[in-house]
Amino acid sequence: MKTNSNTKLILLHPSLHKQTPLPTNATTLFSSPRLSLFFLLLLFSTLLFTCTLVTTTISSTATSTSAAALSTLPPSVSKALLHYAAASNASAKPMTSAEIAAVSKALLHTPRPNFLVFGLTHESLLWAALNHQGRTVFLDENEYFISKFEQSNPGVEAYDIQFTTKVTDYPKLLSQAQAQAQTDCRPVQNLLFSECKLAINDLPNHIYQVAWDVILVDGPRGYFPAAPGRMSAIFTAAVLARSMKAGKTHVFVHDFGREVERVFSDEFLCQENLVQLVDSLGHFLVASEVHDAERAVFCRNSSSSMSSLPSSKDVGNEQY
């Protein structure tokens, strides 16, 4: 038996895989104009949806932020905005914008001011709103109005006053106060114990202990002979300002063109303290005299008369 001596060498090579061409139908898929248009429309729709979603989210966030900001308004401010948006001035006699600006300026230039207001008026809610960081107290002759005002505006502080004066009595009341200027009707005193007929002494005790930064006399009624008039309100404001421990008080008298308001401002608030006249509003800046109470007087220049006051707006250069 023969042995086969021819050795055969078998070499294994890695197979070379050729790229298989795309099927004809796949090539047609991407080259079709209709399908290309479909993909473009799909891409556009996706982008449009994304933009709409982002815009809606931003809008919702802004709305929520605005609503949150409005909800942080103090209740007094919200109440005032609603009141003046719905109120009609047809039957009211509101202050002019210049008069309101004068009072507002005094309030805004005083940190957390104590504000005493004689009279419930068209502007009452405005005063409470402007001074929402301070303390505002309202005084009025009408007990019913005070009660309704407190019920409609929870949180406000208001008291009724029983006036015994009449506009027709003002000459007699003025003469009595002048005669008692060094005794019962002196400029520095605790009004709670005052015997002066012009003094308002029946308010809650704590009212007399407050250092009032701003006082507005816009009540009681004084436009007919039997009305209480503002004689007591002006005198009381003058005494409260001078009886403060220190500092100065802004005192505003509305309807300044009327005789009673002008004469009693002349006597107890004084021309030397007059800062400005704005329409029908007189603005006085009255300093404390408690440090020299024994020698205190209402007016240094007792011969002054406001009946001859100039019509210019600014009378003094006092700063707020």
pLDDT grade, residue 106 (50/70/90)? very high
pLDDT at 63: 46
Average pLDDT score over residue span 21-39: 57
Backbone phi and psi for residue 223, each to the nearest 5 degrees, phi listed first:
-100, 5
Tokens of 303: 């011969």
* Greatest pairwise CA separation for the chain in angstroms: 167
Per-residue burial over 240-250, b if 16 or more Cβ lie within 10 Å, else e, is bbbbbeeebbb
More confident residue, 251 or 312: 251
Sheet of 248-254: strand order equals 157-160, 135-140, 114-118, 214-217, 248-254, 281-287, 274-278
Using only the alpha carbons of the chain, give its radius of gyration.
Answer: 40
Backbone phi and psi for residue 142, each to the nearest 5 degrees, phi listed first:
-100, 110
H or E element: which one contains 261? helix 259-268
pLDDT at 309: 44
| Spatial distance between the Cα atoms of 169 and 226, rounded to a whole number of angstroms | 9
Average pLDDT score over residue span 264-285: 97
pLDDT at 292: 86
Which amino acid is located at 198 in the chain?
Answer: L
Least confident of 68-77, 188-197, 250-259: 68-77
- Domain positions in the chain are 29-71, 75-308
Tokens 């007087």 — which residue?
297
More confident residue, 314 or 240: 240
Least confident of 68-72, 107-111, 297-301: 68-72
Least confident of 146-150, 160-164, 310-314: 310-314
Average pLDDT score over residue span 44-56: 63
More confident residue, 26 or 259: 259
β-strand pairing of 248-254 with 281-287: antiparallel
pLDDT at 148: 96
More confident residue, 88 or 187: 187
Q: Is the dihedral of CA 239, 241, 246, 248 positive or negative?
A: negative
More confident residue, 298 or 68: 298
pLDDT at 15 over 70: no
pLDDT at 218 over 60: yes
Rounded to the nearest 10 degrees, what angle do helices 259-268 and 231-242 cross at?
20
pLDDT at 42 over 80: no
Rounded to the nearest integer, the mean pLDDT of the chain is 81
pLDDT at 76: 74
Cβ neighbors of 125 (< 8 A, separation 6 or more) are 76, 79, 80, 83, 84, 153
pLDDT grade, residue 214 (50/70/90)? very high
Which amino acid is located at 114 in the chain?
Answer: N
Which amino acid is located at 180 in the chain?
Answer: Q
Total count of residues recorded for the chain: 320
- DSSP-assigned letters across all residues of 94-143: PPPHHHHHHHHHHHHTSSS-EEEEES--TTHHHHHHHTTTSEEEEEES-H
Q: Hey, what CATH class is 75-308 in?
A: alpha beta
pLDDT tens-place string over residues 289-313? 999 888 889 998 865 444 444 333 4
pLDDT at 126: 93
